[in-house]
A and B are shown apart, each in its own frame.
Chain A
Amino acid sequence: MPSTPGSSVESPLESRLQGLLHELGARLRRGGLPLEEAPRLATGLESLDALLGGGFPRGRLCEIAGPASSGRTALALALLARATRAGAEAAWVDAADAFDPPSAVAAGAALERVLWVRAPRPAAALRSAERLLESRGFPLVVLDLAPGAAPPPALPPVAWTRLSRAAAGAEGTLVLLADARLAGPAAALALELRPLRARFTGPPALLQGLDTEAALVRRRAGAPPGRAVALRLEAPPAA
């Protein structure tokens, strides 16, 4: 029970309640039915799937955030490859116009099942993603808002609530790629990626891959967040 502005002395019940709230912290939830574990869309990366409890949940908005060269795109492409190889259609809504078809092929994606939406503005990207989810034809929608050279888009918080609801209604997985977390509490799951090092071989020097770290920073259901795993990204063999 919150104390009224006029009351200066807390009752014993209030102080115990405050203590409990402080102790439970992030594990405290609103009343109601316990959240059900949603079916998962696996990435095919064992350590990451174990961290996520089987993969990205269906019917939820999930975030992958991280700076350039942290492996956000590689992770999203791994998810895209798994979905399309399983025969599902997937959409890549690209506000950054950064999708690289050869990289998607190298990751194993079946491009004929991918719908690439090159949105000219972030607002158009959000509306496109919402419309794709509403159509219920795309079990995976990747919304790429990670800016290339442009500053991060200023988007209203209500946009993420709408997208989260659209994903829940469509039972599709919406994966948001960004430099930093954007969706806040609307995201059911959030991963933050951090580049560790680039691996070069040689001489002659050749980029072999990137080592990054993925930390689970938000998870609405299941085990609490806070753990991290190392990811190893390998450069595709030269054609």
Chain B
Amino acid sequence: MRVACLLVPDLPLVAERRARPELAGRPLAIAAGPGPRAELLAVSPEAARARVSTHQSVAQARAVCAALEVRVASPALERATRDALLDAALSVAPRAELAPRGTGAWLAEARVFADATGVAALHRSETGFAAALAARARALALPAAVAVAGSRGAATLAARHLAAEIPARLRAEGGAVRVLSAAEEQAFLASLSVDLLDPDDALAEALLRFGIRRVGELTRLPRAALATRLGPSVLPLLALAHGEPDALPIAAPREGRLEEALDLEWAVDRLEPLAFVLRGLLARLLARLAARRLACGELDLVLGLAGGGRDVRRIGVAAPSLDPRGLLGLLRLSLEARPPTAPVEHAALATEGRPLRPGQLDLFRAAGLAPDALGRLLAELALLCGEGRVGTPAVADDWRPGAFLLRPFEAPPAPEAAAPAATGGPAVLALRALRPPLSAEVRSLHGRPERLRSAVANGHVLRAAGPWRTSGAWWSREERFAYDHYDVQTSDGSVVRLRHDLLHDAWEVDAIYD
């Protein structure tokens, strides 16, 4: 098996710059928390040149570099960036998986393994494949080091070595790629520092005490003797150092949900700034979808509100789309229709990636609405009429009188041939529903209506058909129903559907024949 490892060594920094591209080229540091005493977790090369380093406090860093931009580490942003790295891998490789988070000195790195077996035929060489991976990562604003080797461990060590050798600026410009053939792998690994193996503190100290600096010095020692002296925790390190092949293949990707999130430094209480934040989230989400050749389906927007509340909303998209303007328009319409009840401190936007619907235009038929235009139209109609009042009607599989369904409208593709329409026959009598039903005064004789007074029909009942009984939900006190239905014609010419509520002994007109 051949494995490629995409590695971003300074995840908090990269995540912040991906969310705020305007910070590029400026001294930037990521702090563990708010306040001047918070410890710095990552610093940009520009900040490092100004003698800012990790483990300083924010106050110390500002003392040596007044122009330093400090941001608080955002787990949501880092999670989205790790997922974006996986998307970059999946845009080139058939199988890819996120590596578990590193520890110790490698806590801030993000790694993704991609299956590189047999890719040389597609990309001319493994180097071409690795270069393609690096390019896709760069397109998503992720300067990654890419190494290809015979196992996950060997690829990780090579990528870590590469990331340490090549500065972030060069990775961002041209990428950093290393391919280890099977023949050179052992020799290459032997030359690396043992620190790349990520030993825990006790083991690192023991190795230092033994005078072991390089991986080769470790692999030359007998495995059993090392395990006896250093404990079983050294065995995974030895497997890594030997570049032992992996027991498990790289898992196939899950059809996943893509999410972008951002913690805001200040709570936003107006729509315009919030729309600006959402535009950035949407742009990053769409870039990830485009990398995987998917389009945006329904959008789930979660807003964290000041005071601990949450505003969760689902925005329907008429057809999968990659149009940022149209989708942002839908988000704005939703927020205008129902503004958040408190200032927003956190925003997350998620979607299920869907394949773009292929369409074939008809030469003799007018083109229908573009999906994004349809989505915008539906959102505007929902804004005018209210949520849940616009959609495709459907007949409900329910005996309850007046039951119906309203589904999201999705324009179906034009049929191959128009269905033949009947001509010449009589029209079908239709009902006009009265929602809610109108109460009626009915004088009855032997249980049958004789005279009717209501807002829609009045007078003597000339003809009456029925009753037909419907009843159901007898197990529920609130929902149970039992009606006797009649079709009646009154002396004012109206033909209506009348029902007698047997549970409450009340009469109602629930529809007009028209």
Contacts and interface: CB of A to CB of B under 8 A. Distances in A.
Interface of A: 42-46, 67-75, 77-78, 81-82, 85-87, 89, 92, 96-108, 110-120, 124, 127-128, 131-132, 135-137, 139, 146, 148-149, 195, 198, 200, 202, 204-207, 209-210, 231-236
16 contacts: A43-B427, A75-B427, A87-B365, A89-B368, A101-B396, A103-B428, A106-B428, A111-B393, A118-B389, A118-B390, A131-B381, A148-B432, A195-B493, A198-B489, A200-B463, A234-B429
Instruction: Using C-beta atoms within 8 Å of the partner chain, give the interface range for chain B.
Output: 35 or more
B450 to A, nearest CB: 14
Contacts of A148: 432, 434, 438, 455-456, 512
B464 interface: yes
Given A77-B430, A108-B422, A115-B409, A67 B493 contact: yes
Interface in B404-429: 404-406, 409, 411-412, 414-415, 418-429
Given A68-B456, A135-B369, A210-B429, 9 more contacts: A69-B493, A96-B432, A112-B412, A117-B390, A131-B384, A132-B381, A148-B456, A198-B495, A234-B429
A85 B456 CA distance: 33
Nearest to B390: A117
A128 B432 contact: no
A73 B427 CA distance: 10
Interface of B: 365-366, 368-369, 373-374, 377, 380-381, 384-386, 389-396, 404-406, 409, 411-412, 414-415, 418-435, 438, 454-457, 463-466, 487, 489, 493-496, 511-514
A100 B511 contact: yes
A128 to B, nearest CB: 6
Nearest to A126: B384
Contact of B465 (A43, A67, A97, A206): A206
A226 to B, nearest CB: 22
Contacts of B366: 139
Given A87-B365, A148-B512, A234 B426 contact: yes
A115 B381 CA distance: 11
Contacts of B431: 73, 100, 102-103
B395 to A, nearest CB: 5
A131 B377 contact: yes
A116 B392 contact: yes
B398 to A, nearest CB: 11
Contacts of A89: 368-369, 411
A118 B392 CA distance: 11
A137 B373 contact: yes
A96 B433 CA distance: 9
Contacts of A73: 430-432, 514
B435 to A, nearest CB: 5
Contacts of B455: 148-149
A99 B465 contact: no
Contacts of A106: 428, 430
B391 A87 contact: no
A149 B438 contact: yes
A117 B389 contact: yes
Given A86-B421, A87-B418, A68 B429 contact: no
Contacts of A103: 428-431
A68 B433 contact: no
Contacts, number: 221
Given A113-B412, A117-B390, A44 B421 contact: yes
B464 A205 contact: yes
The 7 A-B pairs at the shortest CB distance, nearest first, are namely A137-B369, A149-B455, A98-B432, A73-B514, A103-B430, A205-B465, A118-B389
Contacts of A114: 392-393
Contacts of B414: 87
A69 B389 contact: no
A43 B428 CA distance: 12
Given A68-B457, A74-B428, A110 B433 contact: no
Given A44-B422, A107-B428, A135 B373 contact: yes
B412 A100 contact: no
B434 A128 contact: no
Given A87-B365, A202-B465, A236 B433 contact: no
Given A44-B421, A117-B390, A120-B385, A102 B395 contact: yes
A98 B428 CA distance: 17
A104 B428 CA distance: 9
A99 B393 contact: yes
Contact of B384 (A101, A127, A204): A127
Specify which of B406, B414, B514 lies most central, judged by the most chain A CB atoms within 10 Å of its CB. B514
Nearest to A211: B426
Contacts of B380: 131
Contact of B428 (A92, A97, A195, A233): A233
Contacts of A96: 432
Nearest to A124: B384
A105 B95 CA distance: 47
Nearest to B412: A112
A69 B393 contact: no
Contacts of A128: 381, 384-385
* Listed residue (A68, A113, A149, A233) with the most chain B CB atoms within 10 angstroms of its CB: A68
Given A89-B411, A117-B381, A128-B381, A98 B463 contact: no
Contacts of A149: 434, 438, 454-456
Contact of B385 (A110, A119, A137, A204): A119
